[in-house]
Amino acid sequence: MSETIVQKFGGTSLGSVERIDAVAEIIKKASKKNKIAVVVSAMSGETNRLIDLANSFGNNPDKREFDALVSTGETISSALLSMALHSKGIKARSFSASQIAIRTTSSYSKAKILDVDAKKILDVLENDTIPIITGFQGITEGGDITTLGRGGSDTTAVAIAAQINANRCDIYTDVDGIFTTDPDIVSNAKKLDSITMEEMLELAGQGAKVVQTRAVEFANKYHVPVRVLSSFNDGSGTLISLKDESMENALVSGIASQKDQVKFTLHSVGDIPGTAFKILGPISEAEVEVDVIVQNVSIDGKTDFTFTVSNEDQEIVKKILSNIKDEINYKELIINPDIAKVSLVGAGMRSQSGVASKAFKALSENDVNIQIICTSEIKITMVIKEEEVEKAINVLHEEFELDK
Ligand code: ASP
Ligand code: MG
C-alpha cells in the first residue's frame, strides 16, 4: 500500500547544483512507491549570506523586511529542485509559504505555525505531482512574510506531515542519523537505529542539534513519526518512534551538551512566597529561556537561587536582575559564564536506579567537579566547567558503554 511521506532536505543536502540533482534522484526513487511531499531549506550558507546582507544599512534592520529577505533562500531551493525533477521527467511544483498558506503568528524571525492549507497540498498530490514547499517561511494573517527561527525548516516539514496526515516525516541531512553523542567529541559514538520521541525531545532540548527542538515538539504533539537520515549515504537512519517497541528501554540512550551557557546565582534571597516568580517572571516575559533552576534549602530564612540561560541572553538577564535588586533584596549576584551542561538521557532511567551514582562516580574518578545536578524522569543534567565538557562526555560514554 502506498504511503504518504514528507521528505525534508537541509542546506548541505542542497548545497550545490550537483547536490540538488542527487536529491532529485532520491525523491524520484521514493516517488515510485509512495506519495511524496517535499520541504526544502536554503542552500547551505545562503541564509547566513542573506543575514549579512540584511545588516548592510546598520545592524538593526526593520523586522518585517529582515524576514522578507532571509526567507528567500528557501524560494530559490524550491524552484531549482522542482526544475531538477522536471529534467528527470517527474512532475513537481514549487510552493512558497504564501501559496500554501502556512499561517504563522506575527513575531518576526521566531514565528510559530498556526495552520497550513492541507487541501492545497493534497490536491497537488492527487494530481501525481510532487509539491516542493519552502521551509522556514510563514505568512501572517495580513499576508506579511515571517520566518520560523534558525533551523525552522524541520518544523515546517513536521507541521505539513501532521496536517496532511502523512505516515512519516523523513528529515534528510548530512549525518547518518542520531548518534549516542556528538561524533566530533567521541570518535566511537554510535548511530542509533531508533530512539523514543521523549528521549529525542530531551536530547534536542539539551543541545543535540540534528533536528530543531520545536520540530520534535510538534512531532510529539501531533504523533508524527520522524526519521533522520543522510542524503549523502545510503542507510536507514534513526527512527524517532512514538511508542517504544523494544522490550527494554535503554538505560542511557544518548549524551547531549550545551556550551554557550551562563549561570546566575542570587545569593541570600528571602525564602518567602513569590521570590521565584519575582525573579523569573520578568525574565520569561522578555522571552528568555531559563533552564536548570535550583533553589537551596534555607538557613535563617535566606537561600540561594540559581539558574542558567544561554550566553546571548546574559546582558538582558543582568539588566532585569539589577532592575529588581531592591525588590528581591539579594546580597550578591554571581555570574559565571564558564560553565556548560552535560545531560544523560534514557527512558530506562524511569525503572532502574543507579544511573546518577554511576555517572557521579565516573566523573569524580576523572576529577570533573559537578556544580549543579538537576534531574527529570529520564534525564540527568550536570553543570560543569566549560573546558571539561569533552572529557566528561568521553568518560560517561565509556562508563555506560554506549559504543557497544
Ligand atoms: N535556512 C534556514 C536556516 O539556515 C532554515 C533551515 O535551514 O532550516 O536556519
Ligand atoms: Mg537544519
Question: Measuring from each residue's beta carbon to the nearest atom of ligand 1, which residues come in under 6 Å?
Answer: 10-11, 41-42, 47, 73, 135-136, 150-154
Q: How far apart are CA 180 and CA 138, in angstroms?
A: 33
Q: Which domains does the chain have, with CATH numbers?
A: 4-174 (3.40.1160.10), 255-399 (3.30.2130.10)
Cβ(278)–Cβ(327) below 8 Å: yes
- pLDDT digit string (tens) for 4-19? 999 999 999 999 999 9
Which among 116, 112, 105, 150 is positioned nearest to 37, based on CA atoms?
A: 116
Q: What is the pTM of this model?
A: 0.90
Order the strands of the 103-104 sheet from edge to edge: 113-115, 103-104, 137-139, 145-147
Distances (CA, A) of 325 to 37, 123, 268, 304, 331: 53, 59, 12, 14, 9
Of 354, 360, 355, nearest in space to 372 by CA: 360
Q: Which residues pair with 307 in a beta bridge?
A: 264, 293
* pLDDT, tens digit (0-9, with 9 covering 90-100), for 304-341: 999 999 999 999 999 999 999 999 989 999 999 999 99
* AA letter at 403: D
Q: What is the pLDDT of residues 170-211, one digit of tens each?
A: 999 999 999 999 999 999 999 999 999 999 999 999 988 899
Cα of first residue to Cα of last residue in the chain, in angstroms, is: 36
What would the grid cell of residue 319 be? Answer: 539588566
Q: Which atom of ligand 1 approaches the CA of 73 most closely?
A: 1
Residue count of the chain, please give it. 404
- What is the number of the ligand 1 atom nearest to the C-alpha of 148? 5
